[in-house]
Structure 1
Amino acid sequence: MSTLSGLVKAGAVGALGQLEDVFLHTRRSISYIVPQVTIQEHHRDEVALTDHPIDSGAPVTDHAFSRPSELLMTIGWSDAASFFDVGGSSNNAEDAYPALLELMNQRSPLGVVTGKRTYDNMVIVSLDTVTDAKTNSTLVIEVGMRQVIIVETATTTLAPVTQQQEPEKTAESVDQGMKQPVQPKESGLYQVGGFLEGLL
């Protein structure tokens, strides 16, 4: 009896979540995956400051930069909610978890739509879910994501050594083979010290 009651509640929760998405036009999604219900969204944005300690006074800050955005979504599916499926969700509880695992294992940037904002270049870094007797026919999963900041790089070709002003500093490294250690020469002061020590 308790299992049937749990299924009915899960179906009602899934249906309410889908109705909310339809009527409020807030279609949450992680790439192509659309959850039946969104329970919680935790957004985190942070700016880091560089600190340099000095002899006296407070640390000196000379630069600030944005850290990658982080997003934690708690979302859910229910097989029982298919009886009330009005939201057009393309996934059920059985299919959603493997699909999320596949996205995480791909480790590729993806788009995420939430109720607050739209993210680009997000990578799934964690999936956390628990299944017990009450949630056997449902999936409530916590999805952790982090933004990947993509930058552009370029390669260049060095000028010939004959055209470099200081080739010993700017020329490409050259493999010169094995080098044997060389005994350093004794300084004049060291030699005088040794001579005086011999007299004593």
Structure 2
Amino acid sequence: MNWLSQSEEPATLRPQRSIGGVTFDVVVEEQHEDTLEITEHPVEHGANISDHAFMKPASVTIRAGVSDGSGSIAGEKAGVSVYEALQTLQKAREPFDIITGKRKYRNMLIETLSVLTDADSENALVVTADCREVIIVKTQTVSVPPRSRHRNAGKTGGTANKGQKQAKRQSILKAGIG
């Protein structure tokens, strides 16, 4: 039995929505985008062919708000401090995590920050953050066995600069009529 709700169901805590640890009073909208890129190659006759597909980096657009009535640093408006924190995240260019209502994103950067202030939003911050995943690769140094230990050492030798070579047209007769 869960002592908080007096029910048989276990209590679950959902992490608060945030961009790099920066939280908001309200998240108005989240737009998630996951795209599969399917390659296309033209052929002489017929439709283009596709021989490969890969996932593009994930992106998410978050529209959120903070009221200046929220708890803030002495004398500073909450909207200003949140906006400055988001600008600092963007300028740092260091990947961070984003927590949304649907999922957690890792290795994200803020691509665009947009703020519109009008008569209705003068005492609040309504910000739109376009964020995109950055793909980070890990490299390592490995040892390669000496050339003499290769299976076909004569054929797998190093490269040699033989200057520029001009492409030659191949005769249809030499290639064979297909």
Structure 2: which amino acid aligns with 1:106? A
Which residue in the other structure is 2:29 paired with?
40
C-alpha separation in 2, matches of 1:51 and 1:44: 21
User: Which is higher, the Rg of structure 1 or of structure 2?
Assistant: 1
C-alpha separation in 2, matches of 1:152 and 1:58: 38
Confirm whether residue 97 of structure 1 aligns to residue 97 of structure 2: no
Q: Secondary structure at the match of 1:103?
A: helix
Q: Secondary structure at the match of 1:136?
A: coil
Q: Secondary structure at the match of 1:61?
A: coil
Q: Secondary structure at the match of 2:91?
A: helix
Cα shift readout 1:35-82 (whole Å, capped 9, x = no counterpart): 111000000000001111101111111111000001000011011244
C-alpha separation in 2, matches of 1:148 and 1:49: 20
C-alpha separation in 1, matches of 2:39 and 2:143: 33
How far is the alpha carbon of 1:137 from its aligned partner? Answer: 1.0
Structure 1: which amino acid aligns with 2:34? D
TM-score relative to the length of structure 1 = 0.62
Which residue in the other structure is 2:45 paired with?
56
Which residue in the other structure is 2:115 paired with?
129
Q: 2:97 aligns with which of 108, 111, 119?
A: 111
C-alpha separation in 1, matches of 2:155 and 2:24: 61
Cα shift readout 1:74-99 (whole Å, capped 9, x = no counterpart): 011011244xxxxxxxx921210000
C-alpha separation in 2, matches of 1:166 and 1:106: 49
Which residue in the other structure is 2:66 paired with?
77
C-alpha separation in 2, matches of 1:72 and 1:114: 10
Q: Bigger CA drift: 154-163 or 117-126?
A: 154-163
How far is the alpha carbon of 1:151 from its aligned partner? Answer: 1.8
Please give the residue correspondences for 1:115-194 in structure 2 after superposition, counting only pairs within 5 Å.
Answer: 115-156=101-142, 165=154, 169-170=158-159
TM-score relative to the length of structure 2 = 0.69
How far is the alpha carbon of 1:33 from its aligned partner? Answer: 0.6
Q: Percent identity?
A: 36
Q: How many residues align?
A: 143
C-alpha separation in 2, matches of 1:112 and 1:132: 28
Q: Secondary structure at the match of 1:65?
A: strand
Structure 2: which amino acid aligns with 1:132? D
Structure 2: which amino acid aligns with 1:33? V
Please state which structure has a larger fraction of its residues in helix: 1
Structure 2: which amino acid aligns with 1:39? V
C-alpha separation in 1, matches of 2:49 and 2:14: 47
